[in-house]
Amino acid sequence: MRFVRLSVALAIYNLRAYLRSARTVALGIIMPVGLLVILSWVFSHQGTIAAAAGYPISAIAFYAGGLTAYGLMLGTFTGVMVAVVSAREAGWLKRFRVSPLPPGSYLTGQIVFNVIISFGLVIVMLAISALVYGLHLRLVALVAMFCYTLLGVFSFTAIALAISRLITTAELGSSVGPFVTITLSFTSGVFLPPDLMPRWLVDISNYLPLEPLAQSMQTTLSATTGTGFLLRTFITLGIWGVIAFVIARWSFTWQPLRR
């Protein structure tokens, strides 16, 4: 119980700090919402867009699903990386490690915080899509989005922890995170329909973590593509998450890299 209380307390502390920072709120929530408004307006005349799975779906379903996946990766991947590197290089992790507090409560608090922020983003994106653009939300779609959000948070958090060993400053993490996310977004059918990209690039993206998540969220929000529960997504993101977790478990350090 003590471990749980500490983890929740750290998550609440991180949440308050997050909400006080206009930059992080803009990056994590306002940017995906702004892109949703702009891209939905630009491509609304097309009627339907061919998703990565080959299904024709509405423009709002395409961008609501894709940009939600983009926001999850941007917030979780970048947020965890910057938070861990900042705490490590400032010496906080080292002090935390030798304190009587459970070491795992810090990382658990980070995960709980990112779960809260991620669900907040999903709720905002779906609410705007439904209320402003008339996106029909089925119960099965909401359940699928819940599952995909948890899966995405797990995978991107594990990847961020694994990569944090290579990042020496928070400033570097703040640059690497958005760069990787935006680059993958262009190749994973988030900003542009897959049929506008080279086939070889689409094939490579199928094995990267963002494309399966974006595709699944896009298809599950469409009224014509079934439940959207795609086995390939669970397998791909699961493999990425497990491998990254193993690497993070082996390489994670509580000591500052820069002395």
Residue 23's domain spans which residues?
Answer: 2-251
Residue 31 placed within a domain: yes
Residue 257 placed within a domain: no
Residue 214 placed within a domain: yes
Residue 259 placed within a domain: no
| Tally of domains within the chain | 1
Residue 256 placed within a domain: no
Distance between CA 217 and CA 146 in Å, rounded?
Answer: 10
Residue 114 placed within a domain: yes
Q: What is the pTM of this model?
A: 0.89
Give me the pLDDT at residue 228, please. Answer: 67
Give me the pLDDT at residue 149, please. Answer: 94
Q: What is the mean pLDDT for each group of 10 consecutive residues in the chain (259 residues)?
A: 74 76 70 86 69 70 91 89 86 78 74 87 92 87 91 92 88 88 89 83 89 90 71 91 89 77
* DSSP secondary structure letters along 1-70: -HHHHHHHHHHHHHHHHHHH-HHHHIIIIIHHHHHHHHHHHHHGGG-EEE-TTS-EEEHHHHHHHHHHHH
Coil, helix or strand at residue 254: coil
Residue 21 placed within a domain: yes
Residue 69 placed within a domain: yes
Give me the pLDDT at residue 40, please. Answer: 81
Give me the pLDDT at residue 53, please. Answer: 55
Give me the pLDDT at residue 73, please. Answer: 92
